[in-house]
Homo-oligomer: A and B are copies of this chain.
């Protein structure tokens, strides 16, 4: 795994050295907002990530402590990825990307995001709690 070299000592630059990429935050989005948790799940997302890029990013995210993987309880050839606290802490970043995107994407149905925006802190706490629960249980549970 290629080590991340930081280009400066700016905290924004530090974050972008990990997240400044077209794919990483989409994988984290899937983990935060959907029940997707496996390689095949992420592969099936609308953006159509290439198999080698997905494998690479999952390695990178795990090597850098954003996610962890466990063998599925039912199928031993299936891996379940879940967020660590470090990954969960990115919820506010992704929420703000969603709010901005929703404002400027003419195609977006804005009602859901508007509701979220009205209680941003509550929404973040809800997501945080749901995902924190998964940290110590091997199997992600549904809604």
Q: Which A residues contact B (CB, under 8 angstroms)?
A: 6-17, 19-23, 25-26, 29, 45-48, 86, 89-90, 92-105, 107-108, 113
Most B-side CB within 10 Å, residue of A17, A47, A48, A96: A96
**A139 → chain B, closest Cβ, in Å?**
26
Contact call A97/B93, Cβ cutoff below 8 A = yes
Complex CA distance for A117 and B48, rounded to whole angstroms: 36
Q: Are A22 and B22 in contact (CB under 8 A)?
A: no
Report the Cα distance A25→B7, complex, angstroms: 14
Point out the residues of chain B lying under 8 angstroms from A19, CB to CB.
Answer: 97
Q: Is there contact, CB below 8 Å, between A93 and B96?
A: yes
Contact of A26 among B13, B48, B103 (CB under 8 A): B13
**For A98, what are the chain B residues with a Cβ–Cβ distance below 8 Å?**
11-12, 15
- Are the C-beta atoms of B113 and A11 separated by less than 8 Å? yes
Q: Which residues on B sit within 8 Å (CB–CB) of A45?
A: 8
Whether A14 contacts B47 by the Cβ 8 Å rule is no
